[in-house]
Amino acid sequence: MPAQLPGLARLEPADGAYFGVNLDWGHDSAAAVSRRMGHTPVVWVQFVSFPLDDGARANLDAFIDQVASVHGMALITLEPSGGLSTVTDAAIADFAARVAGYAARGVPCFVRFAHEMNGSWYAWSQQPAAYVGAFRRVAAAVHAATPYAAMIWAPNYGAGYPFSGGRYQARARSAAFKALDTDRDGVLTEADDPYAPYYPGDDAVDWVGMSLYHWGNAHPWGENEVPERGAFMNRLTGRYDGLNGDESAVPDFYADYVVGHDKPLAITETAALYDTARPGPSEVSVKSAWWSQVFSAAVHRRFPRMRMINWFEWHKREAEVGAVIDWRISANPKLLPLLDELPTGWLRFAP
């Protein structure tokens, strides 16, 4: 189990970055993906409905069994799909006790509560006061339960904010709308800060995180396209101005939250879109170009506190593009050499 070292956040490695995967647990397993990759990821991601019901508890326990079998760490994404009012003290206590039990088994846990809260597509979206209050209550219980659990705050990348038209967007003249109108001009636009109103506070947040995918080079998404050079780094730092337009209004997430708040960074989800039914560049061309950006030596040097990167290892239908997308790196043997070309000594795998 990782030591709690002075000066580091909970579960932060003293050096390097954890390599993890977000796996389709219904059709794959930790053992199988490790065999295919020739490396065993150290972080494994699972989504679970919250509050936990009997089915969610069973799925979570089975997930932890697999993580324990490969000596890994768990990243549990809690989804309060019934809304933030369902995040009761009893539900929080139940979850915190389970996390403590998992840690006692030797499985440290990262907890990503209500991710992408700045979007407009989840029941917990765009409710900054309620979200911050719920996150802080979950964090307090998890922190009290065990030192081997860490809270991850993970908004959606801010380009396109406030994501107008979503089912759960903040209503005009509501208290949430007023809190999100950071420039006080009476409207929500890309000029408003897409991150700050949702930040729960340094005492509650151990890690900051973000999902950064390659969906294509320009909207509308869905075409097989080799990623633009520098897209990953530029989006993380609010400097993107390319084929998809000028996104430089987005704040520099790394400077503001990793450096500014002294927190380690987790790329909680990443991958490159590939539709096997579409023409265009090859799967190897598309995915290797994105992989080489995310795992480049330049990224390692530029972002020294990037401490976790999780690949989205799924083959699934994506409603945004109306197609089945293969995000996986391990299913194509021609892509597996990428794992052996990673910067030496940077990424950490399971023992």
Cα separation, 130 vs 205, whole angstroms: 16
Sign of CA dihedral 163, 169, 171, 176: negative
pLDDT at 351: 85
pLDDT at 342: 85
Nearest Cα neighbor of 143 from 106, 113, 118, 105 is: 113
Cis-peptide into 220, omega within 30 deg: yes
What is the architecture of the domain spanning 17-348? Alpha-Beta Barrel (3.20)
pLDDT at 241: 97
Residues in the chain: 351
pLDDT at 6: 55
Token match 């956040």: residue? 9
Q: Are 74 and 44 in contact (CB under 8 A)?
A: yes
Q: Are 280 and 224 in contact (CB under 8 A)?
A: yes
CA angle 122, 126, 129 (to 5 degrees): 120
Per-residue pLDDT tens listing for the chain (351 residues)? 654 555 799 999 999 999 999 999 999 999 999 999 999 999 999 999 999 999 999 999 999 999 999 999 999 999 999 999 999 999 999 999 999 999 999 999 999 999 999 999 999 999 999 999 999 999 999 999 999 999 999 999 999 999 999 999 999 999 999 999 999 999 999 999 999 999 999 999 999 999 999 999 999 999 999 999 999 999 999 999 999 999 999 999 999 999 999 999 999 999 999 999 999 999 999 999 999 999 999 999 999 999 999 999 999 999 989 999 999 999 999 999 999 888 878 999 998
Cα separation, 332 vs 283, whole angstroms: 9
pLDDT at 341: 85
CA–CA distances in Å: residue 313 to residues 77, 197, 203: 16, 31, 32
Q: Are 231 and 285 in contact (CB under 8 A)?
A: no
| Cβ neighbour number for residue 56 with a 10 Å cutoff | 17
Note the pTM of the prediction, 2 decimals: 0.96
319 burial type by CB count under 10 A (0-12 exposed, 13-18 middle, 19+ buried): exposed
pLDDT at 58: 97
